[in-house]
Structure 1
Amino acid sequence: MDSEAVAWILLALHVILGATAVAFISARHRPATAIAWMLTIIFIPFVGLLGYLAVGFNRLPQARRDKQRNINALILERTQGLDQTGHRDEWPAGLASLVTLNTTLGALPMVGGNDVELLPDYRGSIAAMAAEIDCATSYVHVEFYILVFDEATTPFFDALARACDRGVTVRVLSDHLASVMNPGRKETLAKLADMGAQYQAMLPLRPWRGQWQRVDLRNHRKLLVVDGRVGFAGSQNLVHESYNKKKNVERGLRWHELMMRVHGPVVREIDAVFATDWFSETDDLLDLDTSPVILDPAAHLVDAQVVPSGPSFENDNNLKLFVAMIHRATERVSITSPYFVPEDSVLLAIITAAARGLDVELFVSEIGDQAMVYHAQRSYYEALLRAGVKIYLYKAPEVLHSKHFSIDSDVAVIGSSNMDVRSFSLNMEISVLIHSAEFVAKMHLVEDSYRANSRRLDLNDWVKRPTWEKFWDSAARLTSNLQ
């Protein structure tokens, strides 16, 4: 076969591949994502195709999604009437539709009668969790994206060991890939095994056991439940504040987090998320709490709704909630996200809110630990600044890793979800929607502390940054839609 014939065959294969990509990819992704993948396949066809086959599918296998649907049905049946414990008559306009949206997508209701405490201190939150574990009499459910036995987390692991010694059932989940990629995996697993805890890796990558999915579909949740009595959720992983990485230690980086401790009916909803993930990984369906809800009249009446999201769901639950919240804001929007690479609808909602005259602010870190994300998020700053959004850069060497935002004076979300495409589509996350003017006032104090330790970005200075920085920011942005 001569070279001309080979060239024509390769051209024909290229055309067929491009046409197939247009037909197959465009129907399965958002337009921006589909265009990015199609251009990649057209310009670097075979490499692009292999890349798409490896990381182009943003949903878990069908069997895993079926499990999610099955347990959703059980949760909905179990929670009938729980929404009546809320304080709907006190809700601001638009909140009821947000609650309905979340219930429809995530199967969990808004419940009242909760007490919520913010824990902004890194070591303090670990100590608080250890203290609650020491009071456990029945079970402890632990689920963290990163779970490492080290100097900082020793009090937590020691409390787990004491609980096991008392005969308390300790179940532990952590993400498999995160465990492999972080120092201390062997020591952590040995510690859990020695104490007698039941450990299961989440989303394991073991093809020889038939356990495989897209590599970067991960479980990013962080939660703890003790006896169904008290729960914790937020942004913090269970690891030293430097993440035990040599480069982080050399740079003096320390992670700043925000966790919350909750009492009340919402604890059973956090526990339902754990039960879902435990069932998905082990086929062991734990008993769901079906006991009547008895409200403590002495507790602060906070309405709260747990919002699970991720590739086990058919919809981007957290994305829809965040966009709807921003559009319903009437006075102010305050967003804290360490990784801010917004989906188009989020970016438009934020810019629109600023154009409506709202006070809109964004807290991000001055420095980043992930180069591609760091440069990609910087590419959005100019458009936000021109729209009137105030951007605050949290000063180094601390990395602001908290993930939350508030609107107006009485609605907030706190959890594990970043404001980026990965958290919207690829990571399994847990967020908690809260209605309470008193709680949001405490959130504003946290935001005030960020502002006091931040440098406000100036548009005139930003547009004058070096050309090479602008190039890398723009180049990194092009990869953000390859999800």
Structure 2
Amino acid sequence: MSELDIWALALGTGHVALGLLAAILVSRNRKPAEAIAWVMAIVFVPFVGAAAFLLIGFGRLPAHRRAKQREVNELILERTRGPWLTSHEPDWPAWLAPATELNKALGALPMVGGNEITLNDDYAGTIAQMALAIDAARHRVHVQFYIGVHDEATAPFFEALARARGRGVEVRVLLDHVASLMYPRRKETAAFLESIGAQVHHMLPLRPWRGQWQRPDLRNHRKLLAIDSSIGFTGSMNLIEPRYHKAKNIRRGLSWHELMMRIEGPAVRELDAVFITDWYSETGQLLELDTTAIELEDATELIDAQVLPSGPSFENDNSLKLFTMMIHQATKRVSITSPYFVPDESILLAILTTAARGVPVELFVSEIGDQAMVYHAQRSYYEALLRAGVRIYLYRAPKVLHAKHFSIDDEVAVIGSSNMDMRSFSLNMEISVLLHGPELLADLLAVEDRYRENSRELELGPWLARPLRERALDNLARLTSMLQ
């Protein structure tokens, strides 16, 4: 046997061994499709695939962060022992009580009644509304956004923070570290917050020289504002002008369309508990939880709301479990709005099964995309959805529909920061709010009606006739989406 043959045999044996080792290590506690995708990457491009797995192949946060999450969960559970106070539980669909029990088991926070909630899908109007609420703050303002930039559009918000500090109100701000590095005016924003005396920390920082390191694409994607545990906001919107300061967005005329909600009532302290948990994770400082007793009087017209945090600080895919359960319970209608729709297998099966049962299902997505890989990956699911009878509405360009919500049977809804995609289910820290209340659902249906009016419906025939190049890109992007 020649020296060349020996080298070839050694390389071949090493390659097989690498494949077997990858199959054993990668498959542990991982979904089969995801594991197969990683093993194929490691086998077919060994060095690149193995390096990528070591960098982004581990889907949970470090143990010390998960321990802090469990510690605060225990405090929250202790605070909420005993009967929950809800506004109109007798009117709930039969499956909602088990869903709220599931959520409490996953995220520790209860369903609470007595909330007034208003929806706002006007970008500037939402910023003005948040600024007005901050101007009423007396004790503390907690700000947590994936992206936070002090610019012309968000100036009213930041100026309200300055006025609050001038009154002696405590202002704490959490911004995602990687997202802060990706957008302009980072230094100007930090300088402004420092100048007014706000306490600012970055979430999930990547500073290995300080011992701050985890999988780099595990991000904190939450968006919330909590004021004195009495007024709060959450939804899809980031604190940045609606074109995100990106030249390509400006060149294409793109701007973001969002949905936020203003909450007044007991659910705000649950939003605040999410902030307090993340503040503890980043600073080591455990702020005091609001333990005020909840009293409901004549609350039958008010809204029941349950905050559900999710993400890699938990041991379970919290929102995935809730969303899948809800879709399976539908008997009249399912309406989903998600800018990035790359569903987990269980979600896809729930949607296809529900449509096959004869339940009308509709999906609102953008006609155009701002992220090429996700845009093409989500398009790869359209054929199966259309064949199952799902109606797909493409929100007309140049608006990018960035709202994230869905409703079941015009009775129950979820609004928050979570997309209907694998990244939001497993990799991003998200916040969702489960909601029941007839007036709020009527308002959300009106929002969905406006989406329909500003969309074009996708038909199966023209979709199947799209160019071969587009079909190839869609299918390739779908494969890469499994590398989670």
Compute the TM-score of the two structures, normalised by the length of structure 1. Answer: 0.99
Measured against aligned partners, the alpha-carbon deviations of 1:217-245 in whole angstroms (never above 9, x if no partner) come to 00000000111110000000000000011
Check whether the contact 1:102–1:307 (CA below 8 A) recurs between aligned residues.
yes
Residue number in structure 1 paired with 2:381: 380
Alignment-mate amino acid for residue 372 of structure 1? M
1:399 correspondence with 2:395: no
Residue number in structure 1 paired with 2:163: 162
Residue number in structure 2 paired with 1:305: 306
1:165-184 aligned within 5 A: 165-184=166-185
User: What's the CA shift for 1:27?
Assistant: 1.6
User: What's the CA shift for 1:299?
Assistant: 8.0
Residue number in structure 2 paired with 1:211: 212
Residue number in structure 2 paired with 1:467: 468
User: What's the CA shift for 1:401?
Assistant: 0.0
More displaced stretch, 77-86 vs 42-51: 77-86
SS in structure 1 of the partner of residue 313 of structure 2: coil
1:98-109 aligned within 5 A: 98-109=99-110
More displaced stretch, 334-343 vs 71-80: 71-80
Alignment-mate amino acid for residue 380 of structure 1? Y
Identical pairs, percent: 65
Measured against aligned partners, the alpha-carbon deviations of 1:379-422 in whole angstroms (never above 9, x if no partner) come to 00011001000000000000000000000021000000000000
Measured against aligned partners, the alpha-carbon deviations of 1:121-174 in whole angstroms (never above 9, x if no partner) come to 111000000000011110000000000000000000000001011110000001
1:410 correspondence with 2:404: no
User: What's the CA shift for 1:25?
Assistant: 1.1
Compute the TM-score of the two structures, normalised by the length of structure 2. Answer: 0.98
Residue number in structure 1 paired with 2:440: 439
1:30-41 aligned within 5 A: 30-41=31-42
Whole-angstrom distance in 2 between the partners of 1:51 and 1:70: 32
Alignment-mate amino acid for residue 420 of structure 1? D
SS in structure 1 of the partner of residue 225 of structure 2: strand
Check whether the contact 1:255–1:398 (CA below 8 A) recurs between aligned residues.
yes
Alignment-mate amino acid for residue 478 of structure 1? L
Check whether the contact 1:37–1:52 (CA below 8 A) recurs between aligned residues.
yes
User: What's the CA shift for 1:298?
Assistant: 6.4
Whole-angstrom distance in 2 between the partners of 1:245 and 1:101: 40
1:112-191 aligned within 5 A: 112-191=113-192
Whole-angstrom distance in 1 between the partners of 2:133 and 2:360: 38
SS in structure 2 of the partner of residue 306 of structure 1: strand
Check whether the contact 2:115–2:303 (CA below 8 A) recurs between aligned residues.
yes
Whole-angstrom distance in 1 between the partners of 2:172 and 2:245: 25
User: What's the CA shift for 1:296?
Assistant: 5.2
1:315 correspondence with 2:316: yes
User: What's the CA shift for 1:437?
Assistant: 1.9
Residue number in structure 2 paired with 1:448: 449
Whole-angstrom distance in 2 between the partners of 1:454 and 1:325: 25
Alignment-mate amino acid for residue 35 of structure 2? A
User: What's the CA shift for 1:45?
Assistant: 1.2
Whole-angstrom distance in 1 between the partners of 2:455 and 2:5: 62
Change (3 A) 1:129 1:299: farther
Check whether the contact 2:88–2:300 (CA below 8 A) recurs between aligned residues.
no
Alignment-mate amino acid for residue 362 of structure 1? L
SS in structure 2 of the partner of residue 353 of structure 1: helix
Check whether the contact 1:153–1:240 (CA below 8 A) recurs between aligned residues.
yes
Whole-angstrom distance in 2 between the partners of 1:449 and 1:136: 33
More displaced stretch, 7-16 vs 254-263: 7-16
Residue number in structure 2 paired with 1:326: 327
Alignment-mate amino acid for residue 129 of structure 1? M
More displaced stretch, 79-88 vs 371-380: 79-88
Residue number in structure 2 paired with 1:15: 16
Whole-angstrom distance in 1 between the partners of 2:274 and 2:301: 24
Change (3 A) 1:128 1:299: farther
1:76 correspondence with 2:77: yes
Deviating beyond 4 angstroms after TM superposition, the runs of 4 or more aligned structure 1 residues are none
Whole-angstrom distance in 2 between the partners of 1:143 and 1:231: 11
Alignment-mate amino acid for residue 211 of structure 2? G
Measured against aligned partners, the alpha-carbon deviations of 1:89-142 in whole angstroms (never above 9, x if no partner) come to 221111111111111011001111111100111110000000000111100000
Check whether the contact 1:86–1:110 (CA below 8 A) recurs between aligned residues.
no
Whole-angstrom distance in 2 between the partners of 1:432 and 1:225: 14
Alignment-mate amino acid for residue 235 of structure 1? S
Whole-angstrom distance in 2 between the partners of 1:68 and 1:12: 44
Residue number in structure 2 paired with 1:63: 64
SS in structure 2 of the partner of residue 83 of structure 1: coil
Whole-angstrom distance in 1 between the partners of 2:415 and 2:360: 20
Q: Return 5+ residue gaps in structure 2 as ranges.
A: none
User: What's the CA shift for 1:378?
Assistant: 0.4
Change (3 A) 1:250 1:296: farther
Q: Return 5+ residue gaps in structure 1 as ranges.
A: none
Check whether the contact 2:301–2:437 (CA below 8 A) recurs between aligned residues.
no
1:363-378 aligned within 5 A: 363-378=364-379
Residue number in structure 2 paired with 1:42: 43
SS in structure 2 of the partner of residue 290 of structure 1: coil
Whole-angstrom distance in 1 between the partners of 2:186 and 2:301: 40
Residue number in structure 2 paired with 1:360: 361
Measured against aligned partners, the alpha-carbon deviations of 1:193-236 in whole angstroms (never above 9, x if no partner) come to 01110000000000000000001000000000111110000000
Alignment-mate amino acid for residue 10 of structure 2? I
Whole-angstrom distance in 2 between the partners of 1:152 and 1:355: 45
User: What's the CA shift for 1:24?
Assistant: 1.1
Check whether the contact 1:82–1:109 (CA below 8 A) recurs between aligned residues.
no
Check whether the contact 1:335–1:405 (CA below 8 A) recurs between aligned residues.
yes
Residue number in structure 1 paired with 2:29: 28
User: What's the CA shift for 1:87?
Assistant: 3.1
User: What's the CA shift for 1:86?
Assistant: 4.6
Residue number in structure 2 paired with 1:252: 253
Check whether the contact 2:111–2:306 (CA below 8 A) recurs between aligned residues.
yes
Whole-angstrom distance in 2 between the partners of 1:218 and 1:198: 20
Whole-angstrom distance in 1 between the partners of 2:318 and 2:330: 19
Change (3 A) 1:90 1:298: closer
Alignment-mate amino acid for residue 19 of structure 1? L
More displaced stretch, 412-421 vs 23-32: 23-32
Check whether the contact 2:87–2:301 (CA below 8 A) recurs between aligned residues.
no
User: What's the CA shift for 1:249?
Assistant: 0.7
Alignment-mate amino acid for residue 184 of structure 2? P
Check whether the contact 2:87–2:296 (CA below 8 A) recurs between aligned residues.
no
Alignment-mate amino acid for residue 304 of structure 1? A
